[in-house]
Amino acid sequence: MFDFKKSFSPSFKVMLLLFMTVVILFCSLGVGRYPLSLKEIFDILFYARETESVDILQAKTVLEKIRIPRVLTAGLVGCALSSAGAAYQGVFQNPMASPDILGASSGAAFGAALALLAGADSSIVVFSAFLFSLLCTATVWNVSRKTQGRQILALILSGIVVGSLFSAATSLIKLVADPTDQLPAITYWLMGSLASCGTQTPVFCALMMSAGLIPLFLLRWKINILTLGDDEAFSLGVNAGKLRLIIIFCASLITATAVSVSGIIGWVGLVVPHMARKMVGADYRYVMPASMLLGAAFLVVVDDVARNLLSSEIPIGILTSFIGAPFFLYLITRRR
């Protein structure tokens, strides 16, 4: 019987994932209320002429102003969340670790809710969510440094406590918000959506996420050493504390960026790294790039479904929960 996992090397599987992700991104450009064929997409992107028909101009506007920014943002957000989840799972040596383990999502939710309560525009909402997400993570790190005992356990417990405080503050904002205008906007943001992304959103994501994704990719082999424990890492000449701080900072930065533009999208950072390990094994030299590519492809497909399944758009956070929770139950109940 053909066994995909044993028949191909991890490097080949990563290249296959890269090809699959590119195909999904390109095909998703034609999916929407205004469908575009592959030929139309090619013509608009590579063979645009000075004088064009009205139909071509309309299709070009849809593609350049709406479809491309949204597809690229979905891919970048999925890549960021899944790679952050993989990094946290390796650093904390915990398969249940996810991007919001240090309270980044709770901080972003509070920042966005505060900006929406103040009547700010979308750019201020994104900035506020990003700022408070980093602030929450920094608070967790400072609190954990002042606690006694194991550093990893202190980080996790601090993340739970500080995240709960920010969640309580968000609930208070929802309580005092105007129920006819502000409360629906806050609730919809918390469900997670890419509907508000504009032409500058993927640029912002690419600039901020590259500062975290590139170091994670370059340091991916050292995460293997962290999974062995601090004593083993020290014997191999690796400063585990310093390396852990760098990886946590990078993962927190890309998580804050992703959540600030998309809202709360759960399960991607928890489930996708496990899917990547099923495909390429436990070696982080391959787990990290596989998680990045698989997360990007996964969220783009889910966003396609969210935009087209019903007459009105479904918040993407709802769909990821419906897909991620059953799949994770399947993973943890398998005999192997």
Q: Where are the alpha helices (DSSP H) in 239-312?
A: 240-262, 268-280, 284-308
- One domain for residues 117 and 146: yes
Q: What is the pLDDT of residue 1?
A: 46
CA–CA gap between residue 140 and residue 100 (Å, rounded): 12
Tell me: do 300 and 223 sit in the same domain.
no
**Residue at 87 is within a domain:** no
**How many angstroms separate the CA atoms of 68 and 101, rounded?**
31
The reply to whether 184 and 250 lie within a common domain is yes
- Residues 85/98, Cβ–Cβ less than 8 Å: yes
Regarding whether 285 and 191 lie in a shared domain, the answer is no
- Is residue 245 located within the same domain as residue 280? no
Same domain, 300 and 214: no
Query: How high is the pLDDT of residue 170?
Result: 96
Measured distance between the N- and C-terminal CA atoms of the chain, rounded to whole angstroms: 18
Claim to verify: residue 221 and residue 103 sit in the same structural domain: yes
8 A C-beta contact, residue 272 and residue 294: yes
Q: Is residue 161 part of a domain?
A: yes
Could you give the CA distance from residue 135 to residue 142 in angstroms, rounded to a whole number? 11
* Residue 43 counted as domain residue: yes
Q: Which residues of the chain have pLDDT under 70?
A: 1-7, 48-55, 149, 335-336
Closest-CA residue to 182 (of 120, 108, 126): 120
Q: How many domains, in total, are found in the chain?
A: 2
3-state helix, strand, coil in the chain (%, to 5): 75, 0, 25
201 with 241, same domain: the answer is: yes
CA distances from 275 to 32, 47, 293, 294, 327 (A): 28, 38, 11, 8, 10
Q: Hunting for tokens 């030299």 — which residue is that? A: 285
Q: What is the DSSP letter of 66?
A: I
Whether residues 250 and 273 share a domain: the answer is: no
Which of 264, 288, 317 is where one domain is finished? 264
Q: Is the dihedral of CA 329, 331, 334, 336 positive or negative?
A: negative
Please report, for the domain that includes residue 243, its CATH number: 1.10.3470.10
For residue 181, is it within any domain? yes
Check whether residue 231 and residue 139 sit in a common domain: yes
Are the beta carbons of 313 and 307 closer than 8 angstroms? yes
Give the whole-angstrom CA distance, residue 219 versus residue 230: 16
Q: Is residue 90 part of a domain?
A: no
On whether both 150 and 272 belong to a single domain, the answer is no
- CB distance 226 to 243 below 8 Å: yes
Task: For residues 253 and 208, give the distance between their C-alpha atoms in angstroms, rounded to a whole number.
Answer: 8
The pLDDT of residue 61 is 84
Residue 82: both structure tokens together: 């899944």
The pLDDT value given to residue 45: 79
Question: What range does the domain containing 209 cover?
Answer: 98-264
Q: Return left, alpha or beta for 34; rule: phi > 0 is left, psi -120 to 50 is alpha, else beta.
A: beta
Task: Give dist(CA 324, CA 303) in Å, integer.
Answer: 14
**Does residue 329 lie in a domain region?**
no
Closest by Cα among 250, 247, 266, 214 to 78: 266
Q: What is the pLDDT of residues 95-135, one digit of tens each?
A: 888 898 899 999 999 999 999 999 899 899 999 999 999 99
* Sign of the CA dihedral with 187 first, then 191, 195, and 199 last: positive
On whether both 285 and 201 belong to a single domain, the answer is no
CA distance 125 to 102: 21
Phi, psi torsion values for 102, nearest 5 degrees:
-100, 15
The pLDDT assigned to 311 comes to: 79
| pLDDT tens-digit readout, 238-289 | 888 889 899 999 999 999 999 999 999 989 999 999 999 999 998 999 999 9
Domain-located, residue 89: no
Residue 237: is it exposed, middle or buried by C-beta count within 10 angstroms (0-12/13-18/19+)?
exposed
Q: Is residue 333 part of a domain?
A: no
